[in-house]
Structure 1
């Protein structure tokens, strides 16, 4: 695929989504790259064999203002694993989203990555439509939940620091809309409020519940029965 790299976060409006693929198994990595290259409007702009190499690559891309929109991150890797790497990516390159590439049995590690700011997760055997939907949701700051993984994650999810009772009625409404995958603008349109107010409600409910990401909030909403996994 052709096209210049983005400055991070620019691929959510129908334009090409740029992706850095991080996996320590070369065969798996090449397979993922080939898979992504076959998708329309998705461009692989780099590969890395572990978390440390990913951070080095991102630092180089940042200098050139060519940061990817999304890092597709494996969890179990040498030198620096996907959980620690996710935390560093989110801290050092806040415009870049991280989507975890996971096997079904890695729920504990997925939880840890979400707590460190990952935007979502994908099963390694996900279909083309799911892959593109998850990447596009990440760059739009929306939520994409794989139903099978979500059920496992919500069963094992740690209790939030405070209960849902700490939320205002409006914040509970916003939580449900977040779990349904709505963007801040869509939440604003639904509730007839400004986009800025919607963003503030999301920030407040995340802080009250001790959650690090919209994905964690969506999982909480599923676990508490406010919405059903898709």
Structure 2
């Protein structure tokens, strides 16, 4: 029996995903929750085979929850479930220890395929995510090429609406460090405000509007 943990803060979506998964013979949702800290606790206690984790969880966001789930239960394969399609986010999921990245709104069959891949100890990456092997450096073009890898991570997190403090928690760095990276981003990209930063990320397809 494949044991699955489901972490999403939308009860209606959770119910739909649970029904989809449990319609598959041999699959069982052993627990579900609506925040990142509870997902980590349940993963450590239950050691599920697969954890489906929403990117935008309250408390711990999906990336930080993924890191901690992988530490709490190394045998659990984590699938990040999100509305955002970007190469940079795909890389972040890999670095956090995730093994699959599925876009919400795609056909249900894709989520099933991703879980099947994880059950077979494989990986599954959504269209729009980074499809190259792990540890291969990104090759951004234009202004993005002037940014360091950490600056691109900060750019994505801030553009998704995270505060400096939330971005610091997600990356495991200090708030002052995030503020420094944010200042460097503004300088290198010629931006004057957080709104311009979001518009830049959307134009460059780092996040979806």
RMSD: 2.5
1:166 is matched with none
Which of 34, 52, 73 is 2:19 aligned to? 34
1:48 is matched with 33
The alignment's TM-score, normalised by the length of structure 1, stands at 0.53
Specify whether residues 25 and 110 from structure 1 end up closer, same or farther in structure 2 by C-alpha distance, changes over 3 A only: farther
- In structure 1, how many angstroms separate the alpha carbons of the residues matched to 2:111 and 2:131? 21
Gaps of 5+ in 2: 139-209
- Native 8 Å contact 1:100 1:110 kept in 2: no
- Equivalenced residue count is 137
- Native 8 Å contact 2:36 2:62 kept in 1: yes
Gaps of 5+ in 1: 1-15, 62-66, 162-230
1:110 Cα offset (Å): 3.8
The alignment's TM-score, normalised by the length of structure 2, stands at 0.58
1:160 equivalenced with 2:140 (yes/no): no
Specify whether residues 144 and 60 from structure 1 end up closer, same or farther in structure 2 by C-alpha distance, changes over 3 A only: closer
Which of 96, 110, 124 is 1:116 aligned to? 96
1:79-117 deviations in whole A, cap 9, x for unaligned?
101100100111121111101112144654443222111
